[in-house]
Amino acid sequence: MSKPVAKLAVGVCIAAAPLFGACTVVANGFAVGADSGASDGSAQDGGPPATPYPAPGTNPAPGPGAGDDGGLAAIDCGTSGVVGLVTADTAFAAAFLSPAVATAGGGGTNVIVSPYSVSNAMMMVDVGAAGATDSQIESVLALPANGSTEAPAYAGLACALQADGSSNGNSLDVANALWGQAGVSFETAFLGVLAQGYGAPLQTADFRSDPSVATAAINAWVSQVTQGTLPSLLGPADVTTKTLLVLVNAIYFKGTWATGFNASMTSPRPFTLADGSQTTVSTMTGTIQASVASGSSLVVLELPYRGNALAMDILMPDARGADAGSTSLAAFESTLTPAVLSQALSSLGAPSWDTVYLPKFSFTTHVELASVLAGLGMTDVFQDGVANLSGMDGAMDLSVGAVVQEARIEVDEEGTVAAAGTGVSVCGDCLAIEEPPSVVIDHPFLFLIRDTRNGAIVFMGQVVNPGQ
């Protein structure tokens, strides 16, 4: 059975003028630097507030009553504000995708990003933002309020995602971490919200004496969260003796199809590229219980992961007609809105048995996102002397230098014993279907990995050439 894997580390770099180049390589890191020395007091002085939130950094375990459908009724993640936050994240994702793709390499490049993780990282920045800086972050992320106010909603959604994505043999981890320069005082309220609302209690490090030791500790944490997939989040130049604060968000997802593909049936098949030429790619084939919608210009395919709580949605514009230019993937992405996504996903029919042809693909995307966020209207936070991040340290001396993301996805036939058992149980039903309809994914397509229970989009991207 196929076992898609998506992993991500994301973060933000924050520095005082001049910028010291943190987070310019590999997965996202977030660093705050300043020209001056430590203030009185210790970074450990800021204690968390008494208000408890669900801890997003720990996977909840299925409790009594968890069934084969992945239901986790015994887990109470909290629901206050979650629907509104999912709506906000979807609006941000729709606006974010096209410029992120353009920045990552354009229409001719396979791309995976996690707007959810970018939103999480910038929500944590927003906890320390005020004035116009705060307003712009909220506007771009479509947040109803500041990151402090939205912390319970974030924690509830992260808890729900981990509960839904970590059952039935799947694994989904969402984790945040915060490192601060030992001996430096940060605002108590800022540290408290990050600790209790975002699961990122302050850990001290000595960037000034030996930034390489701090870098190694941060990279070790990221490697652990991403199961060794991203072992070197930060390079030697990313954390300097001027760094005061490093904030990292990491996501790891590994899921098994509810019904999968027989590796012996994988074979080379043609795939039509955006320019109309064809290439041959390794294509998986299987009789799959999936949801399908096929209109005149868009094919939508939903493949659930085991437990049916998370799924991969594939949206393939049908660019084979006379109006190919208007139905290309790039044209579709440029007009993507929450309403367009909702209409496409709501057109899916009930699950049915279909013969699915889906290319194998795996790739990594590294992209610097400051210009993307600034282009969407988040400008002040990147400008020295203009950014108001006084909620972090009580001064107007910090600004965001870079937002860098690295993500990787793999879709192939590797399976598990448990997944194979599911495949055997469904094949008895497969025998009753002599000629199931076919769904052929053989043109550039958009994909989403989302929670089907609450609608949260965790990853999204495009595949324009599975052989890249």
pTM to 2 decimal places: 0.81
Q: What is the predicted pLDDT for the residue at 451?
A: 95
| Residues lower than pLDDT 70 in the chain | 1-76, 78, 235, 237, 319-327, 401-402, 413-436
Per-residue model confidence (pLDDT) at position 401: 65
Instruction: State residue 272's pLDDT score.
Output: 94
Cα of 143 vs its chain's centroid, Å = 17
Q: How large is the angle between the packed helices 188-197 and 151-165, nearest 10 degrees? A: 30
Cβ contact 426:259 at 8 Å? yes
Decide if 137 contacts 400 (C-beta within 8 A).
no
Report the pLDDT value the prediction gives residue 215, as an integer from 0 to 100. Answer: 84
Alpha-helical (H) ranges within 235-337 are 329-334
Upstream peptide bond of 236 is cis (omega within 30 degrees of 0) = no
Percent of the chain with pLDDT over 70: 75
Q: What's residue 209's pLDDT?
A: 92
Rounded Cα–Cα distance for residues 259 and 282 (Å): 19
Amino acid occupying residue 437? P
Q: By the 8 A CB rule, do 126 and 380 touch? A: no
Write down the pLDDT at residue 311.
93
Backbone angles phi, psi at 43, to 5 degrees: -60, -20
41 SS3 class:
coil
pLDDT at 259: 85
Distance CA 183, CA 180 (A): 9
Beta-carbon contacts of 374 under 8 Å, excluding residues fewer than 6 positions away, are 382
Which domains are seen in the chain, by residue range? Answer: 5-255+363-409 (3.30.497.10), 263-360+427-463 (2.30.39.10)
